[in-house]
Chains A and B, each alone.
Chain A
Amino acid sequence: MSAAAAAPSRGAGIVGTIGRVREAGLVVILLALALGTFAVNPRFLSAQGVKDILLDVAVIALVAIGETVVLLMRQVDLSVSSIVGLTAYGAGALFAAHPNLPIPLVLVLGALAGGGLGAINALLVAHGRVPALVATLGTLYVFRGFDFAWVQGNQINATSLPPAFLRLATASLGALPLLALLVGLLVAGFGAYLRLYPGGREYFAVGSNEEAARLAGIDVARRLRRGFILCGAIAGLAGVLWLARFGTVDATAGTGLELRVIAAAVVGGVAITGGVGSVEGAALGALLLGTIANALVVLRVPSFWEQTIEGALLLAAITADLLISRATLRMMREGRRGG
């Protein structure tokens, strides 16, 4: 397009490089952990072992897609766990009443319901100008409250669910569960959208400097709206899959999921200060946390250590991000002899 056809590759893509260093680091830790545990207990990497891990991780990684989009904008959505709970029960109630409903239709309905709940967050944050932390903390409890009022101590079991639906979570291609494959495709799709499409880049722009985004003519309110609705819709879809995975649902389904999702995103390199991160990273973060949890079981470490280790990993991730960004900043400063 321009005369300077040979694009200068000097300092090419430091942004991308940081991200890749970060993700490569995660992969290394993941491999070390998996191989280490495998050495102690070979069952850990058996087909069934891998399948278990992937199934555990899939729902978290899925919800983390939407959460990442929201975090990129320097916002947060705490209500995802309640959305998962509501749509999981909703899907169960639907199947119990109409066992012959087509499964794709229920998945779509779950996403729509989640999107509707996300729209409430969107309204509060983008138009009511309520800080996202407060708004979604509120809806976290409100949605859960509705869940309790609706479920009333009921429980829906696998027996009242169509077997084809449950097979969503048990079917697999080799060691790769169908569920994980589906989530992987979504991660790849949204990852490409965020990286390669102008609309996707706007999420980064809004989180990087909201005022500048506004001045550049970006409709910030619309981005916020779409981000929260998308996050809700993905959580809604995840709720239906959650039901397929566990086969049973009551009013507490998904409780506490929001913090695990955020932890996965942060471990995966998504900055809570906005503007930096990827859904692939968040998925890797979820995979790492899930692998650790499973490794601890296999290694017979008492389960209460799991949270401590998860927390320590979170701190390590944040520290690593700080150190890496400081180091690169210094590198770039020295490179330019500025001022």
Chain B
Amino acid sequence: MTSETPASEPVLVARGITKSFGGALALRGASLAIEAGESHALLGENGAGKSTLVRILAGVLAPDQGELRLAGHPVRFRGPAEAQAAGISVIYQEPSLFPDLSIAENVLIGHMPRARFGTIDRAAAASRVAGMLGDLGVPLPPRRPVRGLSIAAQQVVEIAKALSNRARVLIMDEPTAALTTEECERLFAVVRSLRARGVAVLFITHRLEEAFAECQRFTILRDGALAASGPREAFAPAEVVRRMVGRPLDQLYPQRSSRTGDELLAVTGLTRAGSYEDVHFRVRAGEIVALAGLVGAGRSEVLRGIFGIDPRDRGSVRVAGCVVAPADPRAAMRAGLALVPEDRRQQGLVLALSIIRNATLAVPRAVRHFGLVSRRREGAVTRLWAARLQLKAHRLSDPVGTLSGGNQQKVVLGKWLATAPRVLLIDEPTRGIDVGAKAELHRRLAELRDHGLAIVMVSSDLPEVLGMADRILVMREGRLVGELRGADATEETVMLHATGQQDGARTLAAVPA
């Protein structure tokens, strides 16, 4: 089949897969072949059908047409249990943990170690899971419940869960979206060792550099059909993007800020015990400031504190000179703040409501007509943002839960951008969003900035931070430890500050007090 490994039969083959949901065709004759000992990247725009294909390989969905072959034999899974028994292990794009069960139970669900009389051996389970989490570099206590874990920690638990049953095919649907560089590195190290043992890995990501660094073979889907497939060497990055999007794409970051205006946001001495301490910074109109740092550095917490979702212990927030009441998101919204949260599925969407309803939830005024919700206005607001963010949806009246993961993200973004804020706090703006829409979103943010918006952005995507930010504030363990000019910063300087390997004192002087 390939020039490199002519003899080997692919472990898992999907051929001519078609799947439709009601009227919408999610997959039309898609094919895929994964080989043992190889990492295989599955690429495509938001809504291209990647997760649908994953769910078919995992036995969650049955294909309308097409066949699956496992190690050369045709298979038909009647449920996820059968696929698991056949050695296929999956990390799904949507969180699929049990908040009330312990980390150890989540990881080992379905194959807990047994003690005498068939009871669960909790001690053995805990030590096994502690070992696995240690290998992933995130030593979480195995007996604590999953509820309340950060998204990154939850993702690590999902990864451990997928690794726990020694599968021969490991499928990962955007596992790195919620992780920082360092944690991704650990994941890839684990994946490499699995590959060396002959495990076949299918890896979905919107970060092309990850695909190029870690995968030997690419398959690209467009609109549910196979657009291209072949060894990595056959593709240049621009070629991958062209295949995904169907046209060449200009991926340059927009121009940096040309002129800044009045100070719009002033954060002074913001403190919340255990999360962040004594955070000072100012943002002017027409400026994008990025908060950089490792997961757990407290960046998202600072945004939540400014917006008033969590109470704070000390410090003040002023928007255009006026003090904003603490712990009162409504007051923050009135003052002109908007927060696009990190955990968009849980904090940003009502999955059972329509796309239109979700998109206009934050702007009840704009869609009212004589006090009643006007469908026409709702539709108009939604269509505007849907077009700007290239939302791929069957109908805008469909429940938001039927959208692909990346398209759900776009709905949340549109919802907050529609509030026309003066200061936009945005957490991981392009997580899970495809390259085309990402470039578009970057242009939108730059445009908003040029219209005088002040933007504070938290992003774990370093190239994005370097490409977009006018100023970069680096956080470590809840404190601001450095400030860099966006134009001068490099990945190295940011990481050195973030990990504390540089003498932070010198740059700390640059932070306005």
Contact = CB atoms under 8 A, between A and B. Distances in A.
B298 interface: yes
A2 interface: yes
A197 B97 CA distance: 19
Chain A: number of interface residues, binned into ranges:
35 or more
Contacts of A28: none
A213 B98 contact: yes
Contacts of A214: 60, 80
B119 to A, nearest CB: 4
28 contacts: A2-B124, A4-B128, A7-B123, A13-B143, A14-B145, A15-B102, A16-B143, A198-B110, A201-B112, A208-B99, A209-B96, A209-B99, A214-B60, A215-B58, A216-B80, A216-B109, A216-B110, A217-B110, A218-B109, A274-B100, A275-B99, A328-B148, A332-B144, A334-B273, A337-B296, A338-B149, A339-B295, A339-B296
B295 A8 contact: no
A105 interface: no
Contacts of B127: 1-2, 4-7
Contacts of A337: 274-275, 296, 298, 477-478
Contacts of B273: 334
A329 B81 contact: no
B22 interface: no
Interface residues of B, number: 60
Contacts of B112: 198, 201
Given A204-B98, A337-B298, A12 B141 contact: yes
Contacts of B119: 192, 196-197
Contacts of B96: 209, 211-212, 215-216
A149 interface: no
A4 to B, nearest CB: 4
Contacts, number: 152
Contacts of B123: 7
A204 B97 contact: no
A201 B126 contact: no
B79 A219 contact: yes
A15 B120 contact: no
Interface of B: 58, 60, 79-81, 83-85, 90, 92, 94-102, 105, 109-110, 112-114, 118-120, 123-124, 126-128, 130-131, 134, 139, 141-145, 147-150, 153, 273-275, 295-301, 342, 477-478
Interface in A3-29: 3-8, 10-16
A167 interface: no
A229 interface: no
A2 B110 contact: no
Contact of B120 (A5, A6, A16, A201): A201
A4 B124 contact: no
A208 B131 contact: no
A196 B120 contact: yes
